[in-house]
Amino acid sequence: MNTYKSSCFEGHAICELHLIMCPIPQRGSHVTWRDQYLCYIQVLTDLVDPATDMIILKHAKYTDGTSIGNIVPLHQLHSFISLIPWLGDMADVQFTKATSMHYSQTFLFNKYFEKTSIMPFTMLHIVSN
């Protein structure tokens, strides 16, 4: 299994959260897994545009083009990340405020959204380069 890690956020990955759940064990069954909350997430890969120094994100995909999804325990969530859809030269006409994140293929990381906890991650990128 490949482990996707962000190149800009030490030991972390940027993911889209799709589902928060807790399985209900069947009556009388001896469940062999730890009782915990689980999430279904889709992974985003990031790279830095050298010209603008902005972090650009895209969905990680299987070879057949579908997005890579996975299960992680809820306790591995760290914080909210603000992304901005990359509209390109001309915005797609089907974008609305409710669907632009769904239809977009490329996103920009909004590093001005929250400076006290996320900025140190991005500073790490600057230091290591």
Partner 1 sequence: MDEAIPHPPRIFIAGGTAIHLNYNPSHTRVSVDDVTTNFNIPDLHVVLSEFLLHDARERGEVYGVGGPNRRPSIECPLILPFDHLQLWYTVHLQETAFHNSSITLPAQTIHASPPGPGWSKGQQETVLVNVEGGSVWPESGLTGEYSFMI
By CB under 8 A, the residues from 22 to 81 that bind partner 1 are 22-26, 29, 31-47, 60, 62-64, 66, 68-81
Cross-strand partners of 47: 56
Q: For residues 91 and 105, is the Cβ–Cβ distance under 8 A?
A: no
Q: How far is the CB of 93 from partner 1 (least distance, A)?
A: 15
Q: Which of 53, 88, 92, 120 binds partner 1 (CB under 8 A)?
A: 120
CB of 90 to partner 1, least distance (A): 21
- Structure token digits, residue 118: 């996320």
- Tell whether residue 105 is a contact of partner 1 (CB under 8 A): no
d(C-alpha 44, C-alpha 15), whole Å:
5
Q: Please give the torsion angle defined by the CA atoms of residues 29, 35, 40 and 45, in that order, rounded to the nearest 10 degrees.
A: -130
- The residue assigned the tokens 């083009």 is 65
Min dist CB 51 to partner 1, Å, is: 18
- Binding of partner 1 at residue 108 (CB under 8 A)? no
Report, in Å, the least distance between residue 44 CB and partner 1.
7
Regarding 121 and contact with partner 1 (CB under 8 A), the answer is: yes
Q: Any long-range contacts for 87-91 (C-beta under 8 Å, 24+ apart)?
A: none
By CB under 8 A, residue 112 contacts partner 1 = no
